[in-house]
Amino acid sequence: MDVLIAAERIDARVRELAAEIARAYEGKPVTVVGILTGCLMFTADLIRRIDLPLRVAFITASSYRGETTTSGRLEIRDELLPDISGRHILLLDDILDTGKTLTRVVAHLIDRGAASVKVGVLLRKIGRQEVPFEPDYVGFTIPDKFVVGYGLDFNDEHRHLPFIGVIPH
Segment near ligand IMP (CB under 6 A), from 46-54, 80-88, 91-99, 105-113?
91-99
Residue 71 to residue 127: CA distance in whole angstroms: 20
Q: Which does 43 bind (CB under 5 to 8 A by kind): Mg ion, ligand IMP, none?
A: none
Which of 97, 136, 153, 156 does the annotation list as catalytic?
Answer: 97
Instruction: Look up 97 and say whether it is catalytic.
Output: yes
The C-alpha torsion from 131 through 107 and 81 to 95, rounded to 10°, is 10
Q: Which does 60 bind (CB under 5 to 8 A by kind): ligand IMP, Mg ion, none?
A: none
CB 109 → Mg ion: shortest distance, Å? 18
Return the residue of 87, 100, 108, 124 that touches ligand IMP, per CB under 6 A.
100
34 binds ligand IMP (CB under 6 A): no
38 binds Mg ion (CB under 5 A): yes
Nearest 5°: phi and psi at 97? -110, -95
**Of 147, 151, 114, 146, residue with least CA distance to 14:** 151
Residues whose CB is less than 8 angstroms from the CB of residue 160 and which lie 6 or more positions away in sequence, other chains included: 149
Pairing outcome for strands 137-142 and 147-148: unpaired
CB 108 → Mg ion: shortest distance, Å? 17
CB 52, CB 78: distance < 8 Å:
no
Which residues lie near ligand IMP (CB under 6 A)?
38, 63, 93-101, 146-148, 152-153
Residues designated catalytic: 97
